[in-house]
């Protein structure tokens, strides 16, 4: 893959001075996705599953075609893919529907300090309501979830394991397949937060054998407002809906009603139609390039940038051995928000803060970190300009007496 050619697909990057290093928050969108959204809004912007006329059939077919693309993308079956508003709402469905209805005070839920708030907070809520105990996997010295440490907290009381596949702060890949195997051995189900994995890594839900898996469209070239929840069909079948409204029901009586089968019972109301269709186009785009090629490219950029950052005095990197394209770091004595404002002056977009993952920031014993995250449209030149900006920021704040 050639990032210089790919860059041309991204209208925002027509501004040649712009360096975008914040894909972990949200990726840029290629014209292929933007055009698909335009096609929907201009040519068949009708509702799905309702209209008895051709345009609505077209919209329905495009919406369901995207579901089939999502199936192929992660090797799931059709009735195992629920379209949601994003990874957060997908994880909330699992916690509120499965968690609240299956856990009791005798049970334990395993999470980690590496989790995004979207994974840890829904399970905190389940724990508060059901009194199931929330148990944290101790992280190793590097801040990773290891099998050795996971085994220390797994036991016969564990009913749910809710962990990330790739950390949005540290970029570490969790050994999820082995964790799932161990969890199943004690009868626990595993809910995987794949928001940072799906855009960068081949996922095969049958191979890893996860019970639930969630990701967002907007981090993988797709539109905002669309996400995917994968759930094993036998689990989704038993789970009650948590939102009620149009299109999720079969028969409605005065005092009761029956629900459609999954996935529709979890898609109450008008679904994110344009979002789903746009996500289908994003998946096509990624498939055309090959997700493995994207991963190799990002890792190359990350290794190069880490090696250059290590040469800069006063730079502290928290995850230099991460397997993916995320770098979390700070410049000694410089508040990350000051640094990121300096980078913005060089037209470099990147993130500073706790990245919606306060637990790992507390674990690192810092107030916040700077975070760079790469994607297929980044180049070595982007890295060089960023490194230059880091050096200038360090010199600027040092000369200002920080
Ligand atoms: C690891 C991880 N999980 C979940 C989410 C939540 O995704 P969304 O905000 O799209 O619902 C994010 C977003 O940053 C994330 O990085």
Does position 369 have pLDDT exceeding 80, yes or no? yes
- Tell me how crowded residue 353 is: count the other CB atoms within 10 A of its CB: 17
Task: Output the six-digit token pair for 81.
Answer: 């893919």
C-alpha of 41 from chain center: 26
Whether residue 138 contacts residue 169, with contact meaning beta carbons closer than 8 Å, is answered with no
How much is the average pLDDT of 28-56? 95
- At 134 the pLDDT is 98
Residue 356 in this model has a pLDDT that exceeds 80:
yes
Domains by residue range for the chain, with CATH: 33-288 (3.40.640.10), 291-395 (3.90.1150.10)
How far does residue 226's CA lie from ligand 1's centre (Å)?
Answer: 12
When pLDDT is cut at 50, 70 and 90, the band that residue 51 belongs to is confident
What's the gap in Å between 88 CA and the centre of ligand 1?
6
Query: What confidence score (pLDDT) does residue 400 get?
Result: 84
Q: Catalytic residue positions?
A: 356
- Check if 354 has its Cβ closer than 6 Å to any atom of ligand 1: no
Mean pLDDT, rounded, for 271-277: 97
Is the beta carbon of 118 within 6 A of some atom in ligand 1? Answer: yes
State residue 170's pLDDT score. 98
In tens, the pLDDT along 324-341 reads 999 999 999 999 999 999
Distance CA 384, CA 392 (A): 12
**Residue 177 CB: number of other CB atoms within 10 A?**
13
Which residue's CA is the nearest one to ligand 1's atom 14?
Answer: 25
- Pocket of ligand 1 contains residue 88 by CB under 6 Å: yes
* Token representation of residue 328: 């979390």
Is the pLDDT assigned to residue 52 strictly greater than 90? Answer: no
Ramachandran region, residue 382 (left: φ > 0; alpha: ψ -120 to 50; beta: rest): alpha
- 196, 221, 230: which is closest to 275 by C-alpha? 221
Rounded-to-integer distance, Cα 70 and Cα 74, Å: 6
- Looking at every residue in the chain, the average pLDDT score rounds to 97
Ligand 1 near 164 CB (within 6 A): yes
pLDDT, one tens digit per residue, over 192-209 is 999 999 999 999 999 999
52 compared with 299, residue with greater pLDDT:
299
Alpha-carbon gap, residue 327 to 139, rounded angstroms: 18
CA distance 157 to 387: 49
Among the listed residues 57, 95, 372, the one whose alpha carbon sits nearest the alpha carbon of residue 229: 95
**Phi/psi at 273 (5° precision):** -65, -55
| 82 bridge partner residues | 229
pLDDT higher than threshold 80 for residue 300: yes
Q: What is the pLDDT of residues 65-116, one digit of tens each?
A: 999 999 999 999 999 999 999 999 999 999 999 999 999 999 999 999 999 9
pLDDT in tens, 7-40: 999 999 999 999 999 999 999 999 999 999 999 9
Long-range contacts of 202-209 (CB under 8 A, 24+ apart): 202/291, 202/292, 203/73, 203/74, 203/75, 203/165, 204/74, 204/75, 205/74, 205/75, 205/76, 205/80, 205/230, 206/75, 206/76, 207/75, 207/177, 208/176, 208/177, 208/180, 209/177, 209/180, 209/181, 209/184
Q: Is 326 helix (H, G, I), strand (E, B) or coil?
A: strand
pLDDT tens for residues 222-243? 999 999 999 999 999 999 999 9
State residue 318's pLDDT score. Answer: 98
pLDDT at 402 over 80: no
Q: What is the pLDDT of residue 398?
A: 86
Closest CA to 340 of 325, 328, 356: 328
What is the per-residue pLDDT for 401?
Answer: 79
Which percentage of the chain shows pLDDT scores above 70?
100
Q: How far is the CA of 234 from the centre of ligand 1 (A)?
A: 26
Contact 122, 94 (CB under 8 A): yes
């Amino acid at each position: 893959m050639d990032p210089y050619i790919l860059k041309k697909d991204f209208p925002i990057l027509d501004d040649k001075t712009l360096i975008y290093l914040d894909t972990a928050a949200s990726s840029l969108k290629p014209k292929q996705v933007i055009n698909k959204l335009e096609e929907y809004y201009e040519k068949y912007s009708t509702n799905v599953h309702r209209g008895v006329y051709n345009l609505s059939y077209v919209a329905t077919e495009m919406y369901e075609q995207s579901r089939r693309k999502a199936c192929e993308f992660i090797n799931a079956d059709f009735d195992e893919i629920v379209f949601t508003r994003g990874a957060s709402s997908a994880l909330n469905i699992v916690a509120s529907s499965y968690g609240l209805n299956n856990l009791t005070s005798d049970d334990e839920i395993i999470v980690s300090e590496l989790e995004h708030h979207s994974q840890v907070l829904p399970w905190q809520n389940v724990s508060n309501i059901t009194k199931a105990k929330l148990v944290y996997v101790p992280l190793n010295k590097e801040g990773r979830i290891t099998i050795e440490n996971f085994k220390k907290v797994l036991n016969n009381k564990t009913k749910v394991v809710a962990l990330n596949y790739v950390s949005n702060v540290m970029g570490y890949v969790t050994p999820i397949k082995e964790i799932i195997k161990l969890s199943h051995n004690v009868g626990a189900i595993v809910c995987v937060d794949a928001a940072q994995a799906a855009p960068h890594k081949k996922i095969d839900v049958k191979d890893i054998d996860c019970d639930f898996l969630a990701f967002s469209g907007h981090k993988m070239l797709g539109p905002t407002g669309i996400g995917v929840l994968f759930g094993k069909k036998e689990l989704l079948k038993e789970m009650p809906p948590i939102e009620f409204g149009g299109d999720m029901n079969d028969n409605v009586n005065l005092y009761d009603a029956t629900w459609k089968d999954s996935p529709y019972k979890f898609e109450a109301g008008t679904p994110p139609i344009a979002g789903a269709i746009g996500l289908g186009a994003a998946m096509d785009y990624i498939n055309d390039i090959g997700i493995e090629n994207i991963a190799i490219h990002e890792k190359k950029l990350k290794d190069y940038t880490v090696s250059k950052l290590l040469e800069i005095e006063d730079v502290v990197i928290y995850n230099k051995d991460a397997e993916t394209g995320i770098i979390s770091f700070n410049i000694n004595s410089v508040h990350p928000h000051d640094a990121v404002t300096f980078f913005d002056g060089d037209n470099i977009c990147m993130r500073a803060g706790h990245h919606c993952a306060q637990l790992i920031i507390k674990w690192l014993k810092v107030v916040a970190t700077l975070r760079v995250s790469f994607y297929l449209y980044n180049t070595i030149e982007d890295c060089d300009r960023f490194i230059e900006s880091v050096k200038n920021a360090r010199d600027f704040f040092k000369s200002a007496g920080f």
